[in-house]
Amino acid sequence: MFANELFAGVEMGGTKCVCILGTGPNDVRAVERLPTRAYDETLCGIEGILERWRSQYGKIRALGIASFGPLDLRSQSQTYGFVTSTAKAGWRNSDVAGRLERRFGIPVGFDTDVNGAALAEGRWGAAVGLSDFAYVTVGTGIGVGTVVGGKTVFGMNHTELGHIRVARRAGDSFAGICAFHGDCVEGLASGPAIEARGGMPASKLPMEHPVWSCVAHDLGQLLHTMVLTTAPQRIFLGGGVLNAQTHLFERVQKELTRSLNHYVEAEELETGIAQYIVPPGLGTMSGPLGALALAVDADLGNARRAFTPALIVSQ
Amino acid sequence: MFANELFAGVEMGGTKCVCILGTGPNDVRAVERLPTRAYDETLCGIEGILERWRSQYGKIRALGIASFGPLDLRSQSQTYGFVTSTAKAGWRNSDVAGRLERRFGIPVGFDTDVNGAALAEGRWGAAVGLSDFAYVTVGTGIGVGTVVGGKTVFGMNHTELGHIRVARRAGDSFAGICAFHGDCVEGLASGPAIEARGGMPASKLPMEHPVWSCVAHDLGQLLHTMVLTTAPQRIFLGGGVLNAQTHLFERVQKELTRSLNHYVEAEELETGIAQYIVPPGLGTMSGPLGALALAVDADLGNARRAFTPALIVSQ
């Protein structure tokens, strides 16, 4: 392994960013976290870490950014590489990929945090050998990375399954907290939604609390839609809420089986359900490794959307 | 054009089958329709038409079957090429592709009717040049064919978006008619569901009837989910109900825009919405031409799932 084969990744989350340096899960040279604050402060922090790593470890071949969204990933767009219509204060329409590409002058892979995590599962984790799979994260928000035929789905723009609306559980009248859609899945079952439902942080709610029945139902509905829209061969559930509330796995599995009602005849959905809906193989590292996977793809020229080179300010 | 370059297609619908012979929309040599009755009677009718065409027009290079579902499309499956868990009487677990392949000994492409129609739009219709698009049919059932990165989506099995469940319109308490899911989209807004809602066939309901507000809402919710799950660059709406009720286009467009609430920033969803949700470019021929497109793909070796050759009974 040569020093000039190192890749860097930045997982930009709603509350924190994780920077990672290495070539894969068995060769992580450095990891640093910083809180996600205002746009410029956060980007300066990331740039500082990457500069320091470059001094300390040598050349970085490529950078991957796996970011909260929505993002502009249309290669022809004037605002390619931007975070766009986010509700996150101070981040609306902010350039991320272009700024870092100009600063470091290396290939930059840029995709949603969840698409990155899904790609990492496919490259190094529990989706090796699969062509169609999905990664769901339930935390500050709800996001889904979807791989179809070996590539992340990208049409008019990237996908945003956290904002689909679902059939409501009988008797559940919670209005939802999404600023755009009220009771979309993110509005019903993300960490902040669970806190609004239960009156205390999700981490404090006991597993017997009735809120979890609603959350399991709503996540089961999300998975019902996923099975019928892209038919993943496996679905990974990660993120802060799922990592802490492992009882949700069995409940979500049951909700999905009940809701599909044997319409789709597949062993995965019946006796195989416990192997179908599983935690990510890369565990809590699937997010940062997702950013690293995007760097590897960018270096290989496999970045799905080529970034039009801009003025290089620093090299 | 040589005689031995002819392709045959069979669109198998819930009420009728359409057989087609030719090489594309500008070279259709023959079209014949037959009612979809019991399994064996229907297959015998299709075989008779194809035998007659073979005598009359000469060699058929490949056959495409675009069928109502659900279908088993898993290439390793013992029941590949079967119609599986359909509610349609007498068709449950019936071999379609294998029977016709053994009978005619030519490459057989087999996919859902809606995937075929989507591929035909991509090959010859209003999706030429696009990589990501979808075809929705609203008739006896509701089906969606989805093309992602130029190919129909196939993971654990084919997709079935007609059976996703959606947020209900405020005040709409119709229980839905789907035997599996009650109020899934097909249970709420297919032709039979509209008839159950309105007390008369959809074709007889005036456009002012309040049922259409529910139907537009529910189809708008289906499209909301489609935009967020595969982000099509264009969506085609076809099938008997849409063909007859053209007022639905504008209503569904409005429902979609309202429901997404500007979360996805794309011109397609704002000023461009009338060019985004459109009738199929191949009109009412998109179904039979879908079967023909599957034949062309099978001949090119592009059939997504290779059929394991079985005993050839007749040539």
Task: Inform me whether the pLDDT recorded for A135 exceeds 60.
Answer: yes
* Confidence (pLDDT) at B10: 98
DSSP one-letter code for B57: H
Looking at chain B, list the stretches that DSSP marks H as alpha helix, in order from N- to C-terminal side.
39-57, 97-104, 113-124, 185-189, 191-198, 211-229, 240-244, 247-260, 273-276, 286-299
Report the SS3 class of residue B62.
Answer: strand
Across the range A127-144, mean pLDDT stands at 96
> Inter-axis angle of helices A191-198 and A211-229, to 10 degrees?
150
Q: How confident is the model at residue B85 (pLDDT cuts 50, 70, 90)?
A: confident
Give the pLDDT score at A1.
Answer: 47
Residue-level pLDDT at B64: 98
Which chain B residue has the Cα nearest residue A221? Answer: B165
Q: Which of residues 10-69 of B touch A (CB under 8 A)?
A: none
Please, which residues have CB within 8 angstroms of residue B105's CB and are 6 or more apart in sequence?
B312, B313, B314, B315
CA B210/CA B231 separation, integer angstroms: 30
Residues in chain B with CB shorter than 8 Å from the CB of A165 are 166-167, 221, 224-225, 259
- Cα B33 from chain centre: 17
Pairwise CA distance, residues A207 & A218, whole Å: 16
- For range A141-151, the mean pLDDT: 95
**Residue B14, pLDDT above cutoff 90:** no
Q: Which of residues 81-100 of B touch A (CB under 8 A)?
A: 84-85
Is the pLDDT at B307 greater than 70, yes or no?
A: no
B266·A156 Cβ contact <8 A: yes
Instruction: Quote the tokens at residue B263.
Output: 């979360």
Inter-chain touch A159–B262, beta carbons under 8 Å:
no
Q: Mean per-residue pLDDT for A134-140?
A: 96
Helix (H/G/I), strand (E/B), else coil: A31:
strand
Mean pLDDT of B36-47: 96
Closest Cα in chain B, distance from residue A11 (Å): 22
Which residue's entry shows tokens 């592009």?
B302
Q: Does B175 touch chain A (CB under 8 A)?
A: no
Is the pLDDT at A310 greater than 50? The verdict is: no
Nearest-Cα distance to chain A for B131, in Å, is 7
Residue A312 has pLDDT above 50, yes or no: no
Q: How many CA atoms lie within 13 A of B58 on its CB side?
A: 7
Tell me the pLDDT band of A303, cut-offs 50, 70 and 90.
low
- Report the alpha-carbon angle B245-B24-B149, nearest 5: 75
pLDDT tens digits along A226-285: 999 999 999 999 999 999 999 999 999 999 999 999 998 888 998 999 999 999 999 989
Cα distance between residue B272 and residue B266, in whole Å: 9
Give DSSP secondary structure letters for A243-311.
HH-THHHHHHHHHHHHHHTT-S--GGGTTTHHHHEE--TTGGGHHHHHHHHHHHHHHTT--SSPPPP--
User: pLDDT tens across B242-266, in order?
Assistant: 999 999 999 999 999 999 999 988 8
pLDDT over 90 percentage in chain A? 85
Do B263 and A160 make contact, defined as CB atoms within 8 angstroms?
A: yes
Closest CA to A74 of A158, A147, A152: A158
User: What pLDDT is stored for residue B90 in this prediction?
Assistant: 87
